[in-house]
Amino acid sequence: MPLVPMRAILQASYDAYKRKEPFAAGAYNVNNMEQIQGIMLAANKTRSPAIIQASRGALKYADMNYLKHLILAAVELNPGIPIAMHLDHGNSLDTVKKAIGLGFTSVMIDGSLMEDGKTASDYEYNVKVTKEVVGYAHGFGVTVEGELGTLGGIEDGVGSGKIHLTDPDQAVDFVKKTGVDALAVAIGTSHGAYKFKEEPKIAFDIIEKIRNNIPDVFLVSHGSSSVPPELVDTINKYGGNMKKTMGVPLESLKKAIKLGINKINVDTDGRLAVTGAIRKCFAENPDKFDPREYLGPARDALAKVIEERMNAFGTAGHVKDVKPVTLEEMKRVYRSRE
Protein backbone atom coordinates (compact mmCIF):
# COMPACT_ATOMS: atom_id res chain seq x y z
CA MET A 1 0.00 0.00 0.00
CA PRO A 2 1.45 3.42 -0.92
CA LEU A 3 1.49 6.38 1.44
CA VAL A 4 -2.06 7.50 2.17
CA PRO A 5 -3.41 10.97 2.94
CA MET A 6 -3.91 11.31 6.69
CA ARG A 7 -7.56 11.98 5.97
CA ALA A 8 -8.01 8.30 5.03
CA ILE A 9 -6.85 7.18 8.47
CA LEU A 10 -8.86 9.82 10.33
CA GLN A 11 -11.95 8.98 8.30
CA ALA A 12 -11.74 5.41 9.61
CA SER A 13 -11.60 6.81 13.13
CA TYR A 14 -14.58 9.10 12.54
CA ASP A 15 -16.63 6.31 10.96
CA ALA A 16 -15.94 4.13 14.01
CA TYR A 17 -17.04 6.99 16.28
CA LYS A 18 -20.31 7.21 14.37
CA ARG A 19 -20.78 3.47 14.87
CA LYS A 20 -20.21 4.03 18.60
CA GLU A 21 -16.98 2.01 18.39
CA PRO A 22 -14.54 4.91 18.76
CA PHE A 23 -10.80 4.73 18.36
CA ALA A 24 -8.13 7.35 17.74
CA ALA A 25 -5.12 7.19 15.47
CA GLY A 26 -1.88 7.83 17.29
CA ALA A 27 0.55 10.19 15.55
CA TYR A 28 4.14 9.52 16.54
CA ASN A 29 7.06 11.91 16.12
CA VAL A 30 10.34 10.70 14.65
CA ASN A 31 13.88 11.96 14.22
CA ASN A 32 15.79 8.88 13.06
CA MET A 33 15.63 5.36 11.62
CA GLU A 34 15.26 3.49 14.90
CA GLN A 35 12.17 5.47 15.87
CA ILE A 36 10.52 4.71 12.55
CA GLN A 37 11.40 1.03 12.89
CA GLY A 38 9.98 0.96 16.43
CA ILE A 39 6.67 2.45 15.27
CA MET A 40 6.38 -0.07 12.47
CA LEU A 41 7.17 -3.00 14.78
CA ALA A 42 4.24 -1.90 16.95
CA ALA A 43 1.95 -1.21 13.98
CA ASN A 44 2.55 -4.67 12.55
CA LYS A 45 2.06 -6.40 15.88
CA THR A 46 -1.22 -4.58 16.59
CA ARG A 47 -2.36 -4.25 12.95
CA SER A 48 -2.71 -0.51 13.33
CA PRO A 49 -2.51 2.27 10.74
CA ALA A 50 0.35 4.65 11.46
CA ILE A 51 0.74 8.41 11.27
CA ILE A 52 4.46 9.16 11.25
CA GLN A 53 5.10 12.83 11.81
CA ALA A 54 8.11 15.09 11.73
CA SER A 55 8.29 18.45 13.46
CA ARG A 56 10.33 21.36 12.17
CA GLY A 57 12.90 20.49 14.84
CA ALA A 58 13.14 16.95 13.46
CA LEU A 59 13.47 18.24 9.91
CA LYS A 60 16.28 20.57 10.99
CA TYR A 61 18.05 17.73 12.82
CA ALA A 62 17.69 14.97 10.23
CA ASP A 63 16.89 16.96 7.05
CA MET A 64 13.62 16.50 5.20
CA ASN A 65 15.17 14.25 2.56
CA TYR A 66 16.60 11.74 5.03
CA LEU A 67 13.29 11.44 6.87
CA LYS A 68 11.36 11.21 3.63
CA HIS A 69 13.35 8.21 2.43
CA LEU A 70 13.33 6.52 5.83
CA ILE A 71 9.54 6.74 5.90
CA LEU A 72 9.32 5.53 2.30
CA ALA A 73 11.44 2.54 3.35
CA ALA A 74 8.84 1.83 6.05
CA VAL A 75 6.12 1.94 3.39
CA GLU A 76 8.05 -0.43 1.13
CA LEU A 77 8.80 -2.91 3.92
CA ASN A 78 5.28 -2.82 5.40
CA PRO A 79 2.92 -2.98 2.41
CA GLY A 80 -0.06 -4.02 4.53
CA ILE A 81 0.04 -1.01 6.88
CA PRO A 82 -1.57 2.32 5.87
CA ILE A 83 0.99 5.04 6.60
CA ALA A 84 0.56 8.81 6.44
CA MET A 85 3.61 11.10 6.37
CA HIS A 86 2.69 14.22 8.33
CA LEU A 87 4.35 17.60 8.90
CA ASP A 88 3.86 18.54 12.55
CA HIS A 89 3.60 22.24 13.50
CA GLY A 90 4.40 23.76 10.14
CA ASN A 91 4.96 27.48 10.66
CA SER A 92 4.42 28.95 7.20
CA LEU A 93 3.18 28.29 3.70
CA ASP A 94 6.81 28.04 2.57
CA THR A 95 7.51 25.18 5.00
CA VAL A 96 4.33 23.44 3.85
CA LYS A 97 5.34 23.78 0.19
CA LYS A 98 8.72 22.14 0.89
CA ALA A 99 7.07 19.24 2.72
CA ILE A 100 4.49 18.65 -0.02
CA GLY A 101 7.25 18.84 -2.63
CA LEU A 102 8.99 15.98 -0.85
CA GLY A 103 5.88 13.81 -0.80
CA PHE A 104 4.33 14.48 2.62
CA THR A 105 0.70 13.37 2.43
CA SER A 106 -0.45 15.56 5.31
CA VAL A 107 0.59 18.90 6.79
CA MET A 108 -0.20 20.89 9.88
CA ILE A 109 -0.14 24.66 9.80
CA ASP A 110 -0.01 26.07 13.31
CA GLY A 111 -1.48 29.50 12.76
CA SER A 112 -2.17 29.85 16.47
CA LEU A 113 1.48 30.97 16.66
CA MET A 114 3.47 33.39 14.52
CA GLU A 115 6.24 32.07 12.25
CA ASP A 116 8.71 32.02 15.14
CA GLY A 117 6.64 29.22 16.71
CA LYS A 118 6.62 31.01 20.06
CA THR A 119 4.51 34.15 19.82
CA ALA A 120 0.75 33.73 20.02
CA SER A 121 -1.01 35.11 16.95
CA ASP A 122 -4.45 36.67 16.67
CA TYR A 123 -7.51 35.00 15.19
CA GLU A 124 -7.40 36.91 11.90
CA TYR A 125 -3.79 35.84 11.26
CA ASN A 126 -4.62 32.23 12.04
CA VAL A 127 -7.54 32.21 9.61
CA LYS A 128 -5.47 33.87 6.88
CA VAL A 129 -2.44 31.58 6.98
CA THR A 130 -4.52 28.42 7.47
CA LYS A 131 -6.77 29.27 4.52
CA GLU A 132 -3.71 29.86 2.32
CA VAL A 133 -2.27 26.47 3.25
CA VAL A 134 -5.58 24.70 2.66
CA GLY A 135 -5.90 26.26 -0.77
CA TYR A 136 -2.40 25.13 -1.71
CA ALA A 137 -2.35 21.67 -0.10
CA HIS A 138 -5.76 20.56 -1.33
CA GLY A 139 -4.54 21.21 -4.85
CA PHE A 140 -2.20 18.26 -4.29
CA GLY A 141 -4.72 16.09 -2.43
CA VAL A 142 -2.86 16.65 0.83
CA THR A 143 -4.67 16.64 4.19
CA VAL A 144 -4.47 19.83 6.28
CA GLU A 145 -4.56 20.11 10.06
CA GLY A 146 -4.99 23.51 11.71
CA GLU A 147 -4.95 24.61 15.32
CA LEU A 148 -7.21 26.91 17.30
CA GLY A 149 -6.26 27.92 20.83
CA THR A 150 -2.84 27.38 22.42
CA LEU A 151 -1.38 24.63 24.58
CA GLY A 152 0.83 25.02 27.60
CA GLY A 153 4.48 23.98 27.61
CA ILE A 154 7.17 24.19 24.95
CA GLU A 155 8.58 21.31 22.91
CA ASP A 156 11.06 21.38 20.03
CA GLY A 157 11.07 25.14 20.43
CA VAL A 158 7.36 25.29 19.63
CA GLY A 159 4.83 26.84 22.00
CA SER A 160 3.96 30.13 23.67
CA GLY A 161 3.98 28.48 27.09
CA LYS A 162 0.46 29.74 27.74
CA ILE A 163 -2.83 27.86 27.68
CA HIS A 164 -5.75 29.39 25.81
CA LEU A 165 -8.61 26.91 25.48
CA THR A 166 -10.43 26.60 22.18
CA ASP A 167 -13.73 28.47 21.92
CA PRO A 168 -16.29 26.01 20.47
CA ASP A 169 -18.26 28.76 18.71
CA GLN A 170 -15.11 30.24 17.20
CA ALA A 171 -14.14 26.75 16.03
CA VAL A 172 -17.26 26.64 13.84
CA ASP A 173 -16.32 29.94 12.20
CA PHE A 174 -12.68 28.88 11.81
CA VAL A 175 -13.51 25.65 10.00
CA LYS A 176 -16.05 27.41 7.77
CA LYS A 177 -13.55 30.09 6.75
CA THR A 178 -10.47 27.86 6.30
CA GLY A 179 -11.78 24.49 5.10
CA VAL A 180 -9.34 22.47 7.22
CA ASP A 181 -9.70 18.69 7.33
CA ALA A 182 -8.59 18.34 10.96
CA LEU A 183 -8.55 20.73 13.89
CA ALA A 184 -6.16 20.55 16.83
CA VAL A 185 -8.04 21.82 19.85
CA ALA A 186 -6.70 23.22 23.12
CA ILE A 187 -8.41 21.29 25.91
CA GLY A 188 -5.90 21.61 28.74
CA THR A 189 -3.11 19.34 27.51
CA SER A 190 0.48 20.57 27.31
CA HIS A 191 3.63 20.08 25.26
CA GLY A 192 6.86 18.65 26.66
CA ALA A 193 7.84 16.29 29.49
CA TYR A 194 7.18 18.73 32.32
CA LYS A 195 3.48 19.13 31.71
CA PHE A 196 1.82 19.20 35.11
CA LYS A 197 2.59 19.00 38.83
CA GLU A 198 -0.76 17.37 39.47
CA GLU A 199 -3.35 15.53 37.38
CA PRO A 200 -4.57 17.86 34.62
CA LYS A 201 -8.14 19.02 34.28
CA ILE A 202 -9.09 18.19 30.71
CA ALA A 203 -11.93 20.27 29.27
CA PHE A 204 -14.07 17.38 28.06
CA ASP A 205 -17.00 19.73 27.60
CA ILE A 206 -15.08 21.58 24.89
CA ILE A 207 -14.49 18.35 22.97
CA GLU A 208 -18.16 17.48 23.20
CA LYS A 209 -19.35 20.92 22.09
CA ILE A 210 -16.96 21.12 19.14
CA ARG A 211 -17.78 17.59 18.00
CA ASN A 212 -21.49 18.40 18.09
CA ASN A 213 -21.01 21.75 16.33
CA ILE A 214 -18.63 20.49 13.64
CA PRO A 215 -19.54 16.87 12.95
CA ASP A 216 -17.53 16.48 9.75
CA VAL A 217 -14.12 17.73 10.90
CA PHE A 218 -11.55 15.48 12.54
CA LEU A 219 -10.44 16.52 16.02
CA VAL A 220 -6.86 16.31 17.26
CA SER A 221 -5.31 16.33 20.72
CA HIS A 222 -1.72 17.61 20.93
CA GLY A 223 0.54 17.43 23.97
CA SER A 224 -0.95 14.09 24.94
CA SER A 225 1.97 12.01 26.19
CA SER A 226 1.24 10.31 29.50
CA VAL A 227 4.80 10.60 30.88
CA PRO A 228 4.67 7.21 32.67
CA PRO A 229 6.51 7.38 36.01
CA GLU A 230 8.23 4.07 35.33
CA LEU A 231 9.95 5.56 32.28
CA VAL A 232 11.10 8.56 34.30
CA ASP A 233 12.25 6.23 37.09
CA THR A 234 14.35 4.20 34.63
CA ILE A 235 16.10 7.34 33.40
CA ASN A 236 16.84 8.48 36.95
CA LYS A 237 17.93 5.01 38.09
CA TYR A 238 20.65 4.97 35.48
CA GLY A 239 22.09 8.43 36.01
CA GLY A 240 19.37 10.80 34.88
CA ASN A 241 18.05 13.75 36.83
CA MET A 242 14.44 14.28 35.77
CA LYS A 243 12.20 16.09 38.20
CA LYS A 244 8.78 14.78 39.19
CA THR A 245 6.23 15.45 36.50
CA MET A 246 2.86 14.25 35.26
CA GLY A 247 1.39 13.75 31.83
CA VAL A 248 -2.11 13.16 30.52
CA PRO A 249 -3.51 9.94 32.04
CA LEU A 250 -4.50 7.27 29.55
CA GLU A 251 -7.96 7.15 31.10
CA SER A 252 -8.45 10.82 30.23
CA LEU A 253 -7.37 10.15 26.65
CA LYS A 254 -9.77 7.21 26.41
CA LYS A 255 -12.61 9.46 27.56
CA ALA A 256 -11.59 12.09 25.00
CA ILE A 257 -11.69 9.43 22.28
CA LYS A 258 -15.23 8.45 23.28
CA LEU A 259 -16.24 12.10 22.92
CA GLY A 260 -14.87 12.34 19.39
CA ILE A 261 -11.09 12.89 19.34
CA ASN A 262 -9.70 11.22 16.19
CA LYS A 263 -5.94 11.81 16.38
CA ILE A 264 -3.61 11.88 19.39
CA ASN A 265 -0.04 13.17 19.20
CA VAL A 266 2.63 11.32 21.17
CA ASP A 267 6.27 12.42 21.31
CA THR A 268 7.59 12.73 24.88
CA ASP A 269 6.72 9.15 25.87
CA GLY A 270 8.85 7.85 23.00
CA ARG A 271 11.76 10.08 23.97
CA LEU A 272 11.60 8.83 27.55
CA ALA A 273 11.57 5.18 26.48
CA VAL A 274 14.54 5.64 24.15
CA THR A 275 16.60 7.60 26.68
CA GLY A 276 15.91 5.14 29.50
CA ALA A 277 16.94 2.15 27.37
CA ILE A 278 20.18 3.80 26.27
CA ARG A 279 21.08 4.89 29.81
CA LYS A 280 20.40 1.37 31.10
CA CYS A 281 22.58 -0.17 28.41
CA PHE A 282 25.50 2.16 29.15
CA ALA A 283 25.21 1.69 32.92
CA GLU A 284 25.09 -2.10 32.75
CA ASN A 285 27.57 -2.46 29.89
CA PRO A 286 30.21 0.28 30.18
CA ASP A 287 32.37 -1.54 27.64
CA LYS A 288 29.81 -1.16 24.85
CA PHE A 289 30.66 1.19 22.01
CA ASP A 290 28.79 -0.24 19.02
CA PRO A 291 25.75 2.02 18.39
CA ARG A 292 23.72 -1.02 17.36
CA GLU A 293 24.07 -2.45 20.86
CA TYR A 294 22.31 0.50 22.49
CA LEU A 295 20.12 1.77 19.67
CA GLY A 296 18.64 -1.72 19.22
CA PRO A 297 17.29 -1.85 22.80
CA ALA A 298 16.13 1.75 22.42
CA ARG A 299 14.13 0.78 19.33
CA ASP A 300 12.56 -2.14 21.19
CA ALA A 301 11.67 0.04 24.19
CA LEU A 302 9.98 2.53 21.89
CA ALA A 303 8.08 -0.24 20.10
CA LYS A 304 6.72 -1.43 23.45
CA VAL A 305 5.44 2.05 24.36
CA ILE A 306 3.87 2.58 20.93
CA GLU A 307 2.22 -0.83 21.11
CA GLU A 308 0.72 0.13 24.48
CA ARG A 309 -0.60 3.40 23.02
CA MET A 310 -2.07 1.70 19.95
CA ASN A 311 -3.95 -0.68 22.22
CA ALA A 312 -5.03 2.06 24.64
CA PHE A 313 -6.26 4.32 21.82
CA GLY A 314 -8.17 1.42 20.26
CA THR A 315 -6.17 1.69 17.01
CA ALA A 316 -5.24 -1.99 17.10
CA GLY A 317 -6.93 -4.08 14.43
CA HIS A 318 -8.13 -1.14 12.31
CA VAL A 319 -5.78 -1.57 9.35
CA LYS A 320 -8.66 -3.17 7.48
CA ASP A 321 -10.87 -0.09 7.93
CA VAL A 322 -8.58 2.38 6.16
CA LYS A 323 -9.47 2.80 2.49
CA PRO A 324 -6.33 3.08 0.31
CA VAL A 325 -7.16 6.50 -1.11
CA THR A 326 -4.52 8.19 -3.28
CA LEU A 327 -3.56 11.85 -3.44
CA GLU A 328 -4.91 11.99 -6.99
CA GLU A 329 -8.28 10.75 -5.81
CA MET A 330 -8.30 13.29 -2.99
CA LYS A 331 -7.51 16.07 -5.46
CA ARG A 332 -10.72 15.20 -7.32
CA VAL A 333 -12.68 15.09 -4.05
CA TYR A 334 -11.47 18.57 -3.04
CA ARG A 335 -12.18 19.97 -6.53
CA SER A 336 -15.72 18.61 -6.45
CA ARG A 337 -16.32 20.33 -3.10
CA GLU A 338 -15.15 23.63 -4.50
331 vs 175: CA distance, rounded Å: 19
pLDDT in tens, 16-40: 999 999 999 999 999 999 999 999 9
For residues 79 and 53, the answer to whether their CB atoms sit within 8 Å is no
Quick one: pLDDT band at residue 196, thresholds 50, 70, 90? low
pLDDT in tens, 37-82: 999 999 999 999 999 999 888 888 988 889 999 999 999 999 999 9
Average pLDDT over residues 129-134: 98
pLDDT in tens, 234-286: 999 999 999 888 889 999 999 999 999 999 999 999 999 999 999 999 999 99
User: In this model, does residue 158 exceed pLDDT 90?
Assistant: no
Output the pLDDT for position 161. 54
43 vs 48: CA distance, rounded Å: 5
335 vs 28: CA distance, rounded Å: 30
Helix, strand, or coil here: 228?
Answer: coil
User: In this model, does residue 153 exceed pLDDT 60?
Assistant: no
35 vs 29: CA distance, rounded Å: 8
Active site residues: 88
Global pTM reads 0.93
- Where do the domains of the chain lie, and which CATH numbers do they carry? 6-232+243-270+308-337 (3.20.20.70)
Output the pLDDT for position 224. 87
70 vs 64: CA distance, rounded Å: 10
Helix, strand, or coil here: 154?
Answer: coil
141 vs 74: CA distance, rounded Å: 21
User: In this model, does residue 179 exceed pLDDT 90?
Assistant: yes
Pairing of strands 106-109, 218-221: unpaired
Q: Exposed (0-12), middle (13-18) or buried (19+): which is 337, by Cβ within 10 Å?
A: exposed
* Closest to 145 (Cα-Cα) out of 222, 220, 216, 55: 220
Quick one: pLDDT band at residue 154, thresholds 50, 70, 90? very low
Residues 227/233/234/238 CA torsion (nearest 10 deg): 130
Distance in angstroms between the alpha carbons of the first and the last residue of the chain? 28
